[in-house]
A = this chain, B = another copy of it.
C-alpha cells in the first residue's frame, strides 16, 4: 500500500506531473480506508457508483482549472452529503440528506471529492472519540490511545493519508483536540464565516464546521473557498476583506519581518504530565526564537467561561437539537449529558449570558496588545484504558483549553508540536479575536514548520512553498487605490 503526500501542494504537483491520476488515486484510497477499518474512522464510505458523479466531472479537465482538482476529503457524519445518510453517530437519528451542506457544496464545486462520512462522538458531544456505536475510534499513531473527538474519524482518515483534509465540527474543541492528537492542523474558524446549514447542531448558537489539514497553508486555502456568507444561515457573518488567504504568507515563515507578542496563561495545567509541559515550554521558546515576545495573562476568566459550556445553560441547546430522538436511543453517557438541559430555566439562561458577556469583556481586555494567545490544546492525553476508568472526568480535562473558544467568539488554530513517549503527537493552540483566522494560521505555520514534523501519521516529509515576501495585509481597513 503506497502512501502519498496528499497535501494540496504535493497532490497538485503529482497530478501535474502525471505521477497520480484521480480515478486511480480515489480507488486506491478507498481500498486503503477499507483495509484500515480497524481504526473505526468511517461510518459510511461512498461506493464506486456514488463516487462516479464526482469523478466524471473531472474527466478531461486540467488540474490547474479547479482550485481543489481531485482533492479527496472526508466529512464528519454530522454534516450533510447529498444522497447519503447523516447519522451523527446515532442510528435512530439517521436521515438521508437531500442536499449537501453549503460548505461541502463549495468544496465539491472547487473539484474536491468526498470519500465518505466519518465516525464521531455521538451528537458531537465528547472530546474522546470512543462515544460511538460505530466503534471506538483509535489513534492513528497508537491504536491503544484515544483519537480525541468528537471529530475522531475525520482526524484519523486525514492522518493516515486516506484523504487530503477532513471536515470536522467544533463547538467545544471537537475539531482541535483530535487534530493535534493525530498530527494535524485543526482550524476552528470564527463563528459564522462557514455556513452551518446542513450541520446537525450541537449548540446551534456556537457550532462551527472546522478544517483538519496536513499544514497551515492548506487550511488557509480551504478557508478561502468555504468562508462564504450564507444568507440562509441565521448565524452567518461576512468575512472581512483582511481575513483572506492572500495575506497568509505575510504572517507565515519568512514573511514576518517584525517582532510579535503572544500571551500564555499565567496558570498552566498539564495534569502532572511532564511530557506535555515540556512540549509546551519548547513551543514558547521556539516562538520567541522566531521573533515573539511572550507575556503571561490571567487565565481565570477564560476558565470560568469554559465551565459555562457544560455547567451553564448551553446544554439546553443540545437538548433542543436532539428533541426528535428518544434518549433511550442515545449512548447512556450522551443521554446523561443532554438531560442536563431539561431542568434549566429561562432566567438561568439569561443570567449565564450576562455573565458570559462580562467574561468576554474581561478576556478581550486581557488579550489587548497580543497578536495571539498560546495555550496547550489539551493538558495531557489518555490511553483508551485510562479513559474507560474515568470517562467523564478525563473528557472534561481535555476541554480545559478549548471549551471557552466559541462562547467567547474567538478563532483558534490547533498545531501539533511534537510527540509524547507513547508515540502519540500533542499540540498547542493559538487563538485570537473573531476574524483573525488568516493571521492565526500564519503564526501557526511559523511554529509548525519549525517543528519539522512528518506529514500526518506517515513518515513522509512535508512539501512547503518556497518562502516569499508577500503583501502585508491591510490592517482591518479597506483596500485603497489612489490614481492621479
Contact = CB atoms under 8 A, between A and B. Distances in A.
A294 interface: no
Contacts of A389: none
Interface stretch (A17-25, A58-66, A350-358): A350-358
A466 interface: no
A204 interface: yes
Contact of A365 (B231, B317, B360): B231
Nearest to A353: B205
Interface string A338-349: 000110111111
B361 A347 contact: no
A234 B357 contact: yes
Contacts of A231: 361, 365
> Residue among A319, A349, A351, A480 with the most chain B CB within 10 A?
A349
A320 B345 CA distance: 11
Given A205-B353, A205-B354, A357-B235, A319 B347 contact: yes
A317 B357 contact: no
Contacts of A313: 346, 349-350
B316 A354 contact: no
Interface string A212-243: 00000000000000000001001110000000
Contacts of A477: 478
B316 A346 contact: yes
Nearest to A315: B346
A316 B357 contact: no
A354 B358 CA distance: 22
B357 A347 contact: no
A350 B478 contact: no
Nearest to A233: B361
A316 B480 CA distance: 48
A482 B483 CA distance: 11
A19 B192 CA distance: 59
Contact of A350 (B316, B351, B480): B316
Contacts of A205: 350, 353-354
Given A234-B358, A350-B205, A345 B365 contact: no
A347 B319 CA distance: 7
Contacts of A346: 313, 316, 341, 344-346, 348-349
> Residue among A204, A350, A353 with the most chain B CB within 10 A?
A350
Contacts of A480: 480
Interface in A327-381: 341-342, 344-351, 353-354, 357-358, 360-361, 365
Nearest to A316: B346
> Residue among A236, A320, A347, A353 with the most chain B CB within 10 A?
A347
A349 B316 contact: yes
Nearest to A356: B234
Nearest to A480: B480
Interface string A108-146: 000000000000000000000000000000000000000
Contacts of A482: 482
Interface string A188-209: 0000000000000000110000
A354 B234 contact: yes
B341 A347 contact: yes
Given A477-B478, A480-B480, A317 B234 contact: no
A478 B351 CA distance: 37
Contacts of A349: 313, 316, 346, 349-350
A320 B344 contact: no
Nearest to A320: B347
A317 B234 CA distance: 23
A348 B323 CA distance: 13
Given A354-B205, A482-B482, A344 B341 contact: no
Nearest to A204: B354
A358 B142 CA distance: 45
Given A341-B346, A346-B344, A351 B320 contact: yes
15 contacts: A205-B354, A234-B358, A234-B361, A236-B361, A313-B349, A313-B350, A316-B347, A316-B350, A320-B351, A341-B347, A345-B345, A349-B349, A349-B350, A480-B480, A482-B482
Given A205-B353, A234-B358, A319-B347, 6 more contacts: A205-B350, A316-B345, A316-B347, A317-B350, A349-B349, A349-B350
